[in-house]
Structure 1
Amino acid sequence: MRRQSTAARAGLVAAGLLELAVVSASSSRPRGGPGTGFGAVGRLLDPEARWATRASYPPLDVPKPVAQDVFIVDSQMSGAMGSVLPVRMTVLRLPDGGLLLHSPTRYSIALKRALEAIGPVRHLVAPNLAHWVFLKDWQAACPDATTWAAPGLRGRKQVRDAGLRLDGELGGTEPAAWGGTVELVMVPGGLGFHECALFHHPSRTLLLTDLVMNLEARKVPALLRPVLRAFGMTDGMPPPYLRAVVKLRRGEASRAARHLVSLRPDRVVFAHGQWFERNATGALRRALRWLLP
């Protein structure tokens, strides 16, 4: 710890405090699985199962239109210590009619069929080092789709062990196959972190993943609310450990953040929490206040 910067030490301490808060709000009893019997009746009777549903943004695992050629899919994923996190995929329909899936969520045959009614799935995007865990199922179901990854993802041991195929690494410019309607903005950080933000020019929609997090207090356990508020995670900011990592390359990250705000998006969609549907540019500026002057 003595060799770490002040920002890194603060991030590690904050991460530890957050984990302790999660542990205090967790239960040793599983919500589902063999022998637990959690069907519709179980969800009605069990308060934890009801909370798992309430933490998300139903209807789940179905495409929902938010603008011309822009759709979101709200879903769930496992969090720390058995918690449930809301997670979101954004789908863009490109000029050739094909679909780009940004940060794919859990796969289902029904979801694939619903998306194919909009257009063929042609591009899968893993926009940072964390949001890739559902990609393999989508690759198996859509073998002709091209998988694009954030820098550094290919070298991660977990990715290699999972046998994930990565066709291209995203860099300074967006792939020509995206049809010229999507702008790629790279937000760098330390320890190999990059977030690949996409701006869909026709709809003026900005796609982020973890750079902004806007958890609603009513959707998280009561014991966690004070901690999340203190860390700014109910007011647009990501967890302290991620802020610390990004600030290791603060100059470059600040320039990228200023560019994102200068795009003046009409809406900002991200992976966790309530996305910015109205007054999006002002909300984005506030959420990125830890990077902006």
Structure 2
Amino acid sequence: MAGRGDGLYPPLSVPKPLGRELWVVDGPAISFYGMPFPTRMCVVRLPSGGLWLHSPIRPDEDLIAQVEALGPVAHLVAPNALHYAFLPAWAARFPEAAVHAAPGAAERAARHGLVFPDHAPLGPRAPEAWRGMIRQRLVPGHPFLKEAIFFHRPSRTLILTDLIEAFEPARLGPLMKIATWIGGIRSPGGTPRDARLTWADRAAAAAVLREAMSWEPDRVIMAHGAPIETDVAARLRQAFAWALGPEADARA
């Protein structure tokens, strides 16, 4: 709904099907450096029947009931060192679920007073629990933003977090319009400017990003902004031109 000024995608806290065994759940905004950032969780039902929750949003009883109706919560994923705030609450509610976190997430949570549960680190390859359904890579080369990216095979959906942000100006208030313009994260989408400028090893990132593009996704879901569902390959080349080189952007 354009004109809200909050960047949100209602209905909130409701699992919305996006593909076979894939749901997206848009949540309320949280404050990040004083700016309202919308939140988004992806839910995948694995062949085992268990649920894989990517970047869990703020839980409430209604949302928990809706998620449990899809299946038992089996895996909780913090995909980078910025998306972990609500994972401890889900882990407390579902202590039998396995927790997986990108490098730096648990340490940053501790600095912010959150008790992060015991977890398995997310690495360059998917663990056996979801390897057959979800591909996984860790994008290297940045001192802080070490993000795990995922590819849901059945729906051909690339699941990102902050590597691409695509805020739509019509959904934003005046301050967020300015901030997203400065940050280079307005639709059609891009990697935040501060991350691009501080990426130490772009060649290492480019190798993983090229592999992800070779998977030929039909859709890209990000934490912030509308999913990319048209001209997917061209928009990925454009968004990642900072790593892939100017020739990639020229082909977009």
What is the TM-score normalised by the length of structure 2? 0.89
Q: What is the match of residue 206 of structure 2?
A: 254
Deviations 1:42-87 (A, max 9, x none): xxxxxxxxx8774200000110000001100001232245432112
Q: What is the match of residue 95 of structure 1?
A: 47
Letter in 2 for 1:214: A
Equivalent residues of 1:99, 1:123 under 8 A apart: yes
Q: Give me the whole-angstrom Cα distance separating, in 2, the residues matched to 1:70 and 1:85.
A: 23
Is 2:9 the partner of 1:73? no
Equivalent residues of 2:78, 2:100 under 8 A apart: yes
Equivalent residues of 2:6, 2:173 under 8 A apart: no
Q: Give me the whole-angstrom Cα distance separating, in 1, the residues matched to 2:111 and 2:102.
A: 12
Task: Specify the structure having the higher radius of gyration (Cα).
Answer: 1
Q: Give me the whole-angstrom Cα distance separating, in 2, the residues matched to 1:224 and 1:55.
A: 9
1:281, CA displacement in angstroms? 2.4
Equivalent residues of 1:76, 1:84 under 8 A apart: no
Q: What is the match of residue 180 of structure 1?
A: 132
Shifted more, 134-143 versus 151-160: the winner is 151-160
Q: What is the match of residue 196 of structure 2?
A: 243
Change (3 A) 1:281 1:159: farther
Q: What is the match of residue 173 of structure 2?
A: 221
Equivalent residues of 1:154, 1:166 under 8 A apart: no
Q: What is the match of residue 248 of structure 2?
A: none
Shifted more, 84-93 versus 128-137: the winner is 84-93
Q: What is the match of residue 3 of structure 1?
A: none
| Structure 1: runs of 5+ lacking an equivalent | 1-50
1:190, CA displacement in angstroms? 2.6
1:150, CA displacement in angstroms? 0.4
Residue from 158, 161, 180 that aligns with 1:209: 161
**Partner SS for 1:194:** coil
Count, aligned residues: 243
Change (3 A) 1:187 1:63: same
Letter in 2 for 1:98: G
Letter in 1 for 2:193: P
Q: Give me the whole-angstrom Cα distance separating, in 2, the residues matched to 1:267 and 1:193.
A: 23
- Aligned Cα RMSD in Å? 2.1
Change (3 A) 1:223 1:265: same
Change (3 A) 1:124 1:250: same
Equivalent residues of 1:95, 1:179 under 8 A apart: no
Deviations 1:159-182 (A, max 9, x none): 684111132001122110115111
Q: What is the match of residue 95 of structure 2?
A: 143
Equivalent residues of 1:63, 1:71 under 8 A apart: yes
Residue from 145, 149, 162 that aligns with 1:197: 149
**Partner SS for 1:212:** coil
Change (3 A) 1:219 1:134: same
Deviations 1:124-146 (A, max 9, x none): 00000000000111011111100
Deviations 1:236-275 (A, max 9, x none): 1132112223x21211101111111111101000100111
Q: Give me the whole-angstrom Cα distance separating, in 2, the residues matched to 1:157 and 1:111.
A: 23
Shifted more, 184-193 versus 149-158: the winner is 149-158
Is 2:23 the partner of 1:59? no
Residue from 114, 126, 147 that aligns with 2:78: 126
1:115, CA displacement in angstroms? 1.0
